Amino acid sequence: MASMHAPWWRAAVVYQIYPRSFADSDGDGVGDLRGIIEHVDHLVALGVDVVWLSPIYRSPQDDNGYDIADYQDVDPLFGTLADLDELIAVLHGHGIKLLMDLVVNHTSDEHPWFVASRDDPRSPQRDWYWWRPPRPGMAAGDPGAEPTNWRSFFSGPAWELDEASGEYYLHLFSRKQPDLNWEQPAVREAVYSMMRWWMDRGVDGFRMDVVNMLSKDPTLPDGPVLDGGVYGDGSAAYLCGPRIHEFLHEMHEAVFAGRDPVALTVGEMPGVTIDEAVRFTDPHRREVDMVFQFEHVGLDHDGSKWSPRPLDLLELKASMGRWQHGLAATGWNSLYWCNHDQPRVVSRWGDDGQHRVRSATMLATILHLHRGTPYVYQGEELGMTNVAFSSIEEFRDIEARNHYASAIERGEDPEAVLAAMTHHRDNARTPMQWDDSAHAGFTTGTPWIAVHPNHTTVNARAARADERSVFHHYRRLIELRHTSPVVVDGDFTMVLADHPHVYAFTRALGAETWLVLGNVSGAPQDLDGLDERDVWDRADVVLSNVEGGPQVRRGLRPWEAAVLRRLG
């Protein structure tokens, strides 16, 4: 049985809102907090327990709010602190908790901390950021004079020269996102005190942006040079760096210890390994509750997201299975296919044409029945799809635009570069499709990014009215987690691990065993290798995404998903 003392979030489902693209209440073309308040009924109907709100703080919006200029105020684009208080109250009134996005690897270059740090090299804030002179023997501004060879995640060098002082500052992301120096105790105290302020205001926890990058090897060593280019990969010096566990434990003690009800913390951790994830999420170590790992969303990259390759299902199953196994005894998994940085999963690993509904519901089924806490990204529950942009002008995302510009600068063919950009982040950022009206009911103004033309058929109003929609399938999956202890606590065992097209596993708790089956292909698949196929053929059907339900003896139809239950 489920432990009586298990934390509440083990049985919870989180819904991520990207405020800029969710709902616009005032017609300026950008989503806002009042827009969210007007659509809380959607979240209630879906049945989610927690909302994770991407950043709404004051920001120049260089990276859509992940560049923060004031951690304790709401950007006027999104509303006011009073709107946020109202949103928290409305959500809490429905029993829904709110996670804020904590972005403290870097601030905006317009944050007063950075302004002080840059403008006065003698200010106490100088060392709150990573300032370094040019490479020995070179003059500031010379090509290659950057203090290290690190490449930024958003293309180009990870260092920007400040002409006035002749020193460079580190920015792993955009030049408007200078990295904070967590070696400084005053930086850590300032962040913890800001976090306590939010907790005291009524938020229920945090999703922590690139939180495994907080601790850097202070010697900042060069990294191996990346594929024939001039830049190096510095990640060995800043992914899960020397003091990362110390910092996260210190944060836990300073912000969360002794709070009731317990908060939820999830650390976003590119490159995290299973061994590290166990340490981060071991409840006895009191660091974070769960992590977002990136292994599975890198499997269809050929070295980088800008050179995609088809997914090999055997690799996906092996990876997901390793994480299930690795965190079975200690720690906890988060489960996601989608977020604001990833392409839409139905376009990525399903079929967003003829089999859109069936493949979206199949992908949802296999994800949600793993052990861990599932995350639903806005629009995923509608089966929203990737966009097909035909020119670079249509892109809004700094990562995509910078990548395109630097590829063209290197002399690559513009058409080929654009054609390879299928994994770009704007796929996830087109406006939420509420109905079939102009601009999908997202705004009465001009949307900041184009609305997907398929909103005439793919939209929330149509989905909520159709019991067989992607929306209602997600609703049933969420309900299963709330009502079935085996979904929360059952042991996970991969079955048919060598089947190239079928994703299958069991969950077992006490006398109950569930079998979850997903056909990850557009062709029928037999289940000849399945143990006790005849027993499963007669088992109770918990969930299906096909007319008439599953027929295990005959196999699976294209993109079919089935969940079966038996005792003993």
* Separation between Cα atoms, residue 496 and residue 312, nearest integer Å: 15
Does residue 63 bind ligand TEU (CB under 6 A)? yes
Is 306 a binding residue for ligand TEU by CB under 6 A? The answer is no
Q: Which is nearer to ligand TEU, 72 or 304 (CB)?
A: 304
Name 199's Cβ contacts closer than 8 Å, sequence gap at least 6: 255, 256, 259, 263
Of 129 and 514, which has the nearer Cβ to ligand TEU? 129
- The residues that bridge with 517 in the sheet, in sequence order, are 504, 562
DSSP annotation of 301 reads B
Q: Is 466 among the residues known to form the active site?
A: no
By beta-carbon distance, which residue lies closest to ligand TEU?
66
Choose which of 287, 341, 352, 380 interacts with ligand TEU (CB under 6 A). 341
Phi-psi map region of 525: left, alpha, beta (phi>0 left; psi -120 to 50 alpha):
beta
Smallest distance from ligand TEU to CB 51, Å: 16
Binders in 156-185 for ligand TEU, by CB under 6 A: 173
User: Least distance from C-beta 210 to ligand TEU, angstroms?
Assistant: 5
Whole-angstrom distance, CA of residue 75 vs CA of residue 341: 21
Question: Looking at beta carbons only, is 153 or 495 nearer to ligand TEU?
Answer: 153
Cα 519 to Cα 521: distance, rounded to the nearest angstrom: 6
Residue placing its CB nearer to ligand TEU in the complex, 63 or 352: 63
Catalytic choice (268, 287, 300, 489): 268
- Helix (H) or strand (E) segment spanning residue 247: helix 244-251
| Helix (DSSP H) and strand (DSSP E) numbers for the chain | 17, 18
Shortest reach from residue 18's CB to ligand TEU, in Å: 9
For 16, the enclosing helix (H) or strand (E) is: strand 14-17
Instruction: Give min distance, CB of 153 to ligand TEU, in A.
Output: 5
- Residue (293 or 469) nearer to ligand TEU, CB: 293
Footprint (CB under 6 A) of ligand TEU, residues 385-444: 399
**Binder of ligand TEU out of 126, 151, 252, 305 (CB under 6 A):** 305
Set 62, 101, 209, 295: catalytic member: 209
Residue 254's closest CA among 201, 202, 206, 188?
Answer: 188
* Distance from C-alpha of 205 to C-alpha of 400, rounded to nearest angstrom: 30
Task: Supply the minimum distance, in Å, between the C-beta of residue 173 and ligand TEU.
Answer: 4
Burial class (CB in 10 A: 0-12, 13-18, 19+), 487: buried
User: Cβ 57 to ligand TEU, closest distance in Å?
Assistant: 12
Torsion angle, alpha carbons of 445, 42, 36, 262, to 10: -160
Q: Is 210 in the site for ligand TEU (CB under 6 A)?
A: yes
* Shortest separation between residue 423's beta carbon and ligand TEU, angstroms: 9
**Binds ligand TEU (CB under 6 A): choice among 153, 249, 322, 402:** 153
Binding mask 77-106 for ligand TEU (x = CB under 6 A): --------------------------x---
The Cα 273–Cα 287 span in angstroms is 16
Q: Give one DSSP letter per residue of 481-499, joined into a string.
A: HHH-HHHHH-EEEEESTT-
- Cβ proximity to ligand TEU: between 114 and 434 the closer is 114
Binder to ligand TEU among 22, 66, 113, 169 (CB under 6 A)?
A: 66
For residue 161, what are the β-bridge partners? 168
Q: Identify whether 268 is a catalytic site residue.
A: yes
Q: Which residues bind ligand TEU (CB under 6 A)?
A: 63, 66, 103, 153, 173, 209-210, 270, 305, 340-341, 399
Q: What residues are annotated to the active site?
A: 209, 268
